[in-house]
């Protein structure tokens, strides 16, 4: 241990800043400012809402309760029957009461059909629809949409459950902001104690996903409403024709809504507790799927966002730019620099890796503290502090490597179209028509 610190200090003493800057400029001019800006914006947005625009939210609530529209909770899924009970229970406890629940079973091969039909019979859900043949999540969601009656559609995953006030909170933005085409809820991990994998994701959902969404939303460039919890006005969904073939259909839908001129809002107080993968392999698989859609949708299907034509919007452009820059470009940069260091100056790594680790550890600690200020359940969040030292490795290596692999295999091999997450028959057609 002693020698480890000695190496770092001796290296620190002998390396001049120009060498460090040469190899790691992106850390200093991109990541450190990014972290700082993110945190300032997050704190500002959160506290402004909590204290300054409190009355606005109060009057929005009055408007909502006066109108009291019917809300459809749409739950499409394949083999998700075992999660339904928890989801239904969380719906019964909602503070907003005018709800219909529509569960769509996408050709499940387990007991989902029986479970769903039983819930329907008992009146615990309003409608249970079953597609005898698996058609993919998009078709299931579209089927549910067709037979729903609500003014707003709350799309949630069967393995998610909502906080008691989540639906109410997610509806309020529609009564505050103009031209809102969708509201994304704030996702929390509900199975954080299952494994180290899920604990790390707990931190990630709080520290990275939630925070970055608060920021992009306040900048007007929020572009992925998670399938786990999103709210859309029915008339907007009908205009864009509902969901298109996945994987990545949630981000795709959000872009389609943005393209017809609507804004998208992230509501941090509308909390959805979701079930995350508990082992690394499953997590990697999930993230490969998520990351592939960056290439598939941002660079391919919706490539027109980049082109200045009559439908061009700067906010859409920047939402893509932010996504592609921080996702793709920085990852590639990181890879190139890592290779360069390994090839040209491998002994520098001995100094650089620990230093970088320390820098990011510091940044993530700061971020942790900021999160602590805004999260609801502070005690629980604080108990995870011992995992923060692992966080730079989780985000910096595991996630980055998975992401990069996903970009490459989608770019060169169109792997998202081979993903068994979606039935082949639809993926084949989607690829044929560039969807």
In the complex, which residues of this chain contact other proteins (CB under 8 A)? Answer: 107, 117, 120-121, 127-133, 135-136, 138-140, 142-143, 146-147, 241-245, 249, 425-426, 428-430, 432-433, 435
Quote the least distance from Cβ 130 to other proteins, whole Å: 6
d(CA 166, CA 87): 13
Quote the least distance from Cβ 133 to other proteins, whole Å: 4
Could you tell me the two tokens for 107? 């050709």
Nearer to other proteins, 147 or 306 (CB): 147
Nearer to other proteins, 48 or 429 (CB): 429
Nearer to other proteins, 16 or 432 (CB): 432
Q: Is 53 helix (H, G, I), strand (E, B) or coil?
A: coil
Nearer to other proteins, 241 or 389 (CB): 241
d(CA 287, CA 404): 10
d(CA 122, CA 388): 46
Quote the least distance from Cβ 4 to other proteins, whole Å: 54
Nearer to other proteins, 245 or 371 (CB): 245
CB of 411 within 8 A of CB of 288? Answer: no
Quote the least distance from Cβ 116 to other proteins, whole Å: 10
Radius of gyration of the chain (CA): 23
Quote the least distance from Cβ 142 to other proteins, whole Å: 5
Quote the least distance from Cβ 126 to other proteins, whole Å: 10
Show the beta-strand stretches assigned E in 262-418. 263-274
Tokens 């199975």: give the residue.
191
Quote the least distance from Cβ 424 to other proteins, whole Å: 10
- What is the total residue count of the chain? 435
Nearer to other proteins, 60 or 138 (CB): 138
d(CA 129, CA 106): 9
Quote the least distance from Cβ 245 to other proteins, whole Å: 5
Nearer to other proteins, 144 or 185 (CB): 144
Nearer to other proteins, 14 or 433 (CB): 433
Instruction: Kindly list the strands in the beta sheet with 160-162, ordered across the sheet, starting from the edge strand earlier in the chain.
Output: 127-131, 99-106, 71-77, 152-156, 229-233, 180-189, 263-274, 160-162
Contacts 24+ apart (CB under 8 A), 255-259: 255/223, 255/297, 255/298, 255/302, 255/305, 255/316, 257/181, 257/182, 257/232, 258/181, 258/223, 258/313, 258/315, 258/316, 258/319, 259/302, 259/305, 259/311, 259/316
Quote the least distance from Cβ 277 to other proteins, whole Å: 25
Query: 398 forms bridges with which residues in the sheet?
Result: none
Quote the least distance from Cβ 253 to other proteins, whole Å: 11
CB of 183 within 8 A of CB of 226? Answer: no
Q: Where are the alpha helices (DSSP H) in 375-423?
A: 378-382, 391-393, 400-413
Nearer to other proteins, 39 or 244 (CB): 244
Close Cβ partners of 286 (under 8 Å, ≥ 6 residues apart): 277
Nearer to other proteins, 45 or 129 (CB): 129
d(CA 127, CA 149): 11
Apex 74 CA angle, 117 and 101, nearest 5? 55
Nearer to other proteins, 238 or 347 (CB): 238
CA 305 from centre of chain: 21
Quote the least distance from Cβ 429 to other proteins, whole Å: 4
């Amino acid at each position: 241990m002693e020698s480890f610190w000695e190496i770092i200090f001796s290296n620190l003493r002998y390396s001049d800043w120009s060498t460090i800057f040469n190899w790691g400029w992106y850390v200093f001019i991109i990541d450190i400012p990014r972290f700082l800006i993110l945190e300032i914006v997050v704190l500002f947005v959160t506290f402004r809402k909590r204290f300054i625009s409190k009355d606005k939210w109060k009057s929005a609530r009055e408007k909502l309760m006066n109108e009291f529209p019917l809300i459809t909770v749409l739950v499409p899924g394949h083999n998700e029957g075992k999660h339904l009970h928890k989801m239904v229970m969380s719906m019964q406890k909602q503070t907003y009461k005018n709800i219909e629940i529509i569960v769509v079973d996408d050709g499940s091969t387990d007991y989902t059909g029986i479970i769903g039909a039983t819930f329907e019979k008992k009146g615990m859900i309003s409608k249970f629809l079953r597609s005898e043949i698996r058609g993919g999540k998009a078709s299931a969601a579209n089927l549910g949409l067709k037979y729903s009656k609500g003014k707003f559609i709350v799309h949630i995953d069967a393995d998610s459950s909502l906080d008691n006030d989540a639906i109410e909170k997610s509806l309020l933005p529609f009564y505050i902001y103009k031209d809102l085409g969708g509201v994304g809820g704030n996702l929390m991990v509900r199975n954080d104690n299952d494994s180290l994998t899920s604990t790390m994701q707990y931190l990630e959902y709080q520290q990275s996903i939630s925070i970055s969404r608060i920021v992009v939303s306040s900048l007007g460039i929020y572009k992925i409403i998670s399938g786990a919890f999103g709210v859309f006005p029915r008339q907007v969904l009908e205009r864009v024709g509902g969901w298109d073939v996945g994987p990545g259909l949630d981000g795709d839908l959000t872009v389609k809504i943005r393209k017809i001129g609507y804004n998208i809002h992230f509501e941090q107080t509308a909390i959805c507790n979701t079930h995350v993968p508990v082992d690394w392999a499953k997590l990697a698989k999930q993230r490969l799927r998520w990351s592939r859609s960056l290439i598939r949708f941002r660079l391919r299907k919706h490539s027109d966002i980049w082109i200045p034509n009559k439908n061009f919007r700067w906010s859409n452009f920047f939402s893509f730019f932010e996504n592609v820059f921080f996702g793709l470009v920085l990852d590639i940069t990181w890879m190139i620099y890592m290779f360069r260091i390994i090839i040209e100056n491998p002994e520098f790594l001995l100094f650089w890796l620990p230093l970088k680790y320390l820098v990011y550890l510091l940044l993530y600690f700061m971020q942790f503290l900021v999160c602590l200020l805004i999260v609801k359940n502070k005690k629980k969040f604080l108990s995870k502090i011992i995992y923060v030292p692992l966080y730079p490795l989780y985000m910096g290596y595991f996630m980055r490597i998975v992401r990069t692999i996903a970009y490459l295999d989608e770019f060169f091999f169109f792997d998202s179209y081979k993903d068994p997450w979606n039935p082949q028959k639809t993926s084949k057609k989607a690829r044929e028509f560039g969807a």
